[in-house]
């Protein structure tokens, strides 16, 4: 295949820095307690462990491997010390390959079938697959109050609203729990608590009616895992081991922490950047296990993707009925028809009209991305043993673009409906994300992440962030705007001339809501700046006054001494 | 030991006692002086507020956003300062009210202290809005 390589990506690819940090954080949660243990340059060895010819978009597996080798070569040693990749097509793995170093200190290469990566929130897909197994077996129901499954559990969802929280809400992150971002990550494995204790001690407030708005919740995913465990009278780890990992032959996968010594494979070391090189760091542990404690090899993730692409089965092994798999891959919550929405556990990727579904994942120093293209029977998994600003999604974006798994974006056509300038002025304002904390010191993150929308000429919009990310938008339908020079979409929901929510295609994990005037960045910054300036001037004034008095006293004393000496 | 030595030693002891007594008296006098306490509260408010912002930003810049989750000791210290700022704002505000009631400062000082109390109140309000100071 000799297609020209496209540099475009599906949406607003990696507007790095704080946004990607938070996205990773939101998509799993973390805390870096990484203590550097060594220093070395990143290795760039790569090792192919499995490569078979495939069909579908990948007509030539050697060419695919060459393409992936090229894009990984750009990253190994610069973006990440190591990576693992799995690509499946037509129900068969056509590329599973490790790149770079599993541990820069030990100079151990990544092996796709042996090196275990922490996959973070990609593990939620396993959790929600387990939920769907329960639904299929009649043990669980997506629209029943989750409290009905928690009879003898210490965990109970409070009746804050008339409508109960259901498993459908948990699988689409619409339960309305306040986000804490942190899925209770600990540095010491002895600090790991039973799931029930964690869910009891870290129960968030319900701040929105269920089913209303998307607000990514690690707690919700952990609660779903707990429901699975309770309904089957076992532990979550034991359930997924016996009902998912063993049937699929995912022998190197586990939610257990630390990864047991007798677990097959070797866990890659997490890494932090140190100038031009990487340092191996200490791993951390996630208390809300079903939300992100999964460790797996690329080969195992290939098996998981094959099961989903194979209508719930790999060969003769079935983990979901075809109807159940189809139900899981269908839409369960629509934010807005013009943007990415939620399947069960999966969110849509790129153009919402194209059937691409995926999930990102991150721990403190691991990142991953899983994408399924059911219409093309293609699955892509990429994992890094580091957490750079440009993560594995960028690799997935390049593969999607190269193999045209979705059409390249076209130049947006402005709407012919009059009143564009009025609509632009209606939606102007400042917005905050629902998946960011609304209480505690982390609330400052919400302030820093505000998005400012301003009207521009000809009914266009301009959006900016504190980080200096400025983008321009053209209205293609009333209150729907396409990015100029990009692939992202803004979709406002307006009632009686007031914006209710702003949906952004590239942010499926939440929606933006208008910020009250007194919480806007300019007001907060102005008030804080004025107060601090006043305090500073007062301190300077007091210091100057005190110095002047002491100097005056000194001069007076000196005058007396001079007179005495006469 | 001669009488002169004894006398000198007694004089030194007396002097030391007088100094200690004077210091203790001065401390006691200040700690019971509403004007001194109010002034100290406003100095503390200004210093701690600036110190909080500097410490918070330094920890965030050096350790990254992650420090908001990991809460290393410097971040823990920074996050306790808003409570102190709240207390100092309360002290400054009460001091200013008393100053206007009993006129124990000059008009200029009272206006200055009033402005500081006002700044303390809006600063604390913003700390509450940002989640640093729970209501």
pLDDT, residue A40, reads 29
- Residues B38, B66 within the same domain: yes
Which residues on A lie below 8 Å from B42 (Cβ)?
538
- Residues B62, B106 within the same domain: yes
Q: Residues for chain B: how many in total? A: 135
Query: Rounded CA gap, A441 and A384, in Å?
Result: 30
Average pLDDT over residues A227-250: 96
- Residues B91, B58 within the same domain: yes
A-interface mutation test, from B51, B68, B105, B108, most A Cβ less than 10 A away = B68
Say which residues have a Cβ less than 8 Å from residue B118's Cβ, sequence separation at least 6.
none
Average pLDDT over residues A264-268: 96
ipTM comes to 0.81
- Residues B62, B87 within the same domain: yes
- Residues B111, B61 within the same domain: yes
How far is the alpha carbon of A18 from chain B, nearest alpha carbon, in Å?
Answer: 8
Q: Comparing A406-410, A482-486, A489-493, which segment has the lowest mean pLDDT?
A: A406-410
- Residues B27, B50 within the same domain: no
What sections of A364-504 are H helices per DSSP? 392-402, 420-427, 443-448
What are the tens digits of pLDDT across the range A83-120?
A: 999 999 977 889 999 999 999 999 899 999 999 999 99
Q: Judge contact between A396 and A379, C-beta under 8 A.
A: no
- Residues B83, B104 within the same domain: yes
Contact B131 A530 (CB under 8 A): no
CB-count exposure of residue A475 (10 Å: 0-12, 13-18, 19+): buried
**Token output for A123:** 């593990």
- DSSP assignment letter at A258: S
Give the confidence band of B5 by pLDDT, cuts at 50, 70, 90.
low
- Provide the residue range defining the domain that includes B121: 34-129
Say if B58 is an interface residue toward chain A (CB within 8 Å). no
- DSSP assignment letter at A28: T
Contact B50 A33 (CB under 8 A): no
Q: Judge contact between B21 and A517, C-beta under 8 A.
A: no
Query: Rounded CA gap, B44 and B21, in Å?
Result: 27
Domain ranges of chain A: 420-519, 526-566
Give the confidence band of A48 by pLDDT, cuts at 50, 70, 90.
very low
Query: Rounded CA gap, B45 and B127, in Å?
Result: 13
- Residues B63, B94 within the same domain: yes
Contact A30 B112 (CB under 8 A): no
Contact A30 B69 (CB under 8 A): yes
pLDDT, residue A389, reads 87
Whether the predicted pLDDT of A186 surpasses 90: no
Average pLDDT over all residues of chain A: 88
Q: Does B92 fall in a domain?
A: yes
Say which residues have a Cβ less than 8 Å from residue A406's Cβ, sequence separation at least 6.
A10, A350, A351, A354, A356, A400
How many CB atoms are located within 10 Å of the residue A510 CB? 24
Query: Rounded CA gap, A392 and A14, in Å?
Result: 10
How far is the alpha carbon of B102 from chain A, nearest alpha carbon, in Å?
Answer: 23
φ and ψ at residue A494, rounded to 5 degrees: -120, 130
- Residues B20, B52 within the same domain: no
CA distance from start to end of chain B = 68
Average pLDDT over residues A168-177: 97
Of all residues in chain A, the one with the smallest CA distance to B112 is A538
Say which residues have a Cβ less than 8 Å from residue A193's Cβ, sequence separation at least 6.
A201, A287
At residue A228, the 3 state secondary structure works out as helix
User: Distance of CA B25 to CAs B19, B28, B30, B32, B39, Å?
Assistant: 10, 5, 8, 11, 19
Q: Which of A503, A466, A402, A483 is nearest to A12 (CA)?
A: A483
Whether the predicted pLDDT of A512 surpasses 70: yes
Query: Can you list the positions of beta strands (E) in A146-220?
Result: 185-186
Query: Rounded CA gap, A138 and A324, in Å?
Result: 12
Minimal Cβ distance to B130: which of A31, A181, A447 = A447
- Residues B44, B92 within the same domain: yes
- Residues B71, B99 within the same domain: yes
Q: Residues for chain A: how many in total? A: 566
Query: Can you list the positions of beta strands (E) in B23-87?
Result: none
Whether the predicted pLDDT of A300 surpasses 60: yes
- Residues B28, B16 within the same domain: yes
What are the tens digits of pLDDT across the range A337-369?
A: 999 999 999 999 998 888 999 999 998 899 999
Minimal Cβ distance to B129: which of A18, A441, A524 = A524
Q: How is domain A420-519 classified at the CATH fold level?
A: Lipocalin (2.40.128)
Whether the predicted pLDDT of A10 surpasses 90: no
What are the tens digits of pLDDT across the range A363-382?
A: 889 999 999 999 999 999 99
Give the confidence band of B18 by pLDDT, cuts at 50, 70, 90.
low
**Token output for A186:** 């600990």
Average pLDDT over residues A58-68: 91
Q: How many domains does chain B have?
A: 2
Contact A532 B49 (CB under 8 A): yes
Q: Judge contact between A236 and A195, C-beta under 8 A.
A: yes
């Amino acid at each position: 295949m000799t297609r020209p390589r496209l540099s475009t990506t599906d949406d607003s690819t990696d507007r790095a820095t704080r946004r990607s940090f938070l996205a990773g954080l939101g998509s799993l949660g973390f805390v870096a307690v990484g203590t550097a243990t060594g220093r070395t340059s990143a290795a760039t060895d790569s090792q192919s462990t499995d490569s078979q010819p495939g069909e579908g978009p990948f007509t030539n597996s050697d060419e695919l491997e060459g393409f992936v080798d090229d894009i990984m070569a750009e990253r190994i040693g610069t973006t990440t010390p190591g990576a693992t990749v799995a690509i499946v097509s037509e129900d068969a793995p056509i590329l599973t390959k490790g790149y770079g170093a599993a541990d820069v200190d030990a100079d151990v290469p990544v092996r796709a079938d042996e090196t275990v990566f922490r996959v973070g929130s990609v593990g939620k897909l396993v959790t929600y697959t387990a939920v769907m197994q329960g639904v299929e077996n009649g043990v669980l129901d997506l629209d029943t109050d989750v409290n009905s499954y928690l009879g003898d559990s210490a965990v109970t969802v409070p009746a804050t609203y008339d409508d109960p929280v259901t498993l459908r809400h948990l699988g689409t992150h619409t339960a309305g729990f306040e986000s804490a971002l942190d899925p209770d990550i600990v540095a010491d494995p002895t600090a790991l608590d039973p799931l029930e204790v964690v869910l009891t001690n870290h129960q968030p407030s319900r701040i929105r009616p269920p089913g209303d708005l998307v607000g990514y919740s690690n707690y919700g995913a952990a609660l779903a895992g707990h429901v699975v465990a309770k309904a089957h009278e076992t532990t979550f780890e034991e359930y997924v081991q016996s009902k998912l990992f063993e049937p699929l032959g995912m022998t190197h996968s586990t939610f257990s922490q630390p990864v047991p010594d007798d677990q097959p494979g070797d866990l890659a070391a997490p890494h932090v950047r140190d100038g031009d090189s990487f340092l191996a760091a200490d791993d951390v542990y996630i208390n809300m296990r079903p939300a992100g404690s999964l460790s797996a090899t690329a080969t195992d993730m290939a098996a998981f993707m094959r099961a989903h692409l194979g209508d719930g089965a790999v060969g003769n092994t079935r983990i979901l009925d075809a109807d159940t798999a189809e139900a899981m891959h269908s839409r369960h919550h629509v934010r807005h028809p013009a943007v990415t929405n939620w399947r069960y556990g999966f969110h849509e990727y790129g153009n919402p009209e194209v059937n691409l579904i995926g999930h990102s994942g991150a721990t403190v120093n691991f990142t991953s991305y899983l994408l399924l293209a059911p219409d093309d029977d293609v699955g892509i998994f990429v994992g890094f043993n580091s957490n750079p600003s440009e993560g594995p999604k960028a690799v997935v974006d390049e593969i999607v673009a190269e193999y045209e798994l979705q059409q390249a974006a076209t130049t947006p056509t402005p709407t012919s409906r009059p009143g564009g300038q009025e609509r632009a002025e209606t939606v102007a304002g400042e917005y905050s994300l629902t998946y960011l904390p609304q209480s505690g010191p982390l609330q400052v993150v919400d302030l820093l992440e505000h998005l400012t929308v301003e009207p521009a000429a000809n009914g266009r919009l301009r959006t900016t962030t504190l980080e200096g990310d400025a983008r321009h938008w053209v209205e293609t339908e009333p209150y729907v705007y396409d990015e100029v020079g990009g692939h992202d979409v803004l979709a406002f929901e307006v009632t009686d001339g007031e914006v209710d929510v702003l949906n952004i295609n590239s942010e499926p994990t939440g929606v933006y809501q208008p910020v009250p005037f007194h919480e806007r960045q300019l007001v907060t910054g102005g008030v804080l700046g004025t107060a601090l300036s006043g305090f500073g001037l007062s301190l300077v004034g007091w210091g100057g006054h005190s110095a002047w008095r002491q100097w005056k006293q000194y001069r007076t004393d000196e005058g007396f001494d001079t007179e005495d000496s006469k | 030991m001669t009488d002169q030595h004894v006398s000198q030693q007694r004089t030194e002891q007396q002097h030391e006692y007088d100094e200690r007594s004077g210091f203790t008296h001065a401390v006691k006098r200040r700690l019971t002086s509403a004007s001194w306490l109010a002034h100290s509260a406003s100095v503390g408010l200004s210093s701690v507020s600036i110190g909080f912002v500097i410490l918070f930003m330094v920890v965030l810049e050096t350790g990254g956003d992650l420090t908001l989750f990991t809460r290393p000791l410097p971040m823990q210290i920074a996050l306790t300062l808003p409570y102190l700022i709240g207390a100092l704002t309360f002290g400054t505000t009460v001091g200013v009210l008393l100053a206007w009631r009993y006129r124990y400062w000059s008009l200029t000082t009272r206006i200055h202290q009033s402005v500081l109390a006002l700044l303390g109140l809006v600063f604390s309000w913003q700390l509450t809005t940002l989640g640093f100071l729970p209501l």
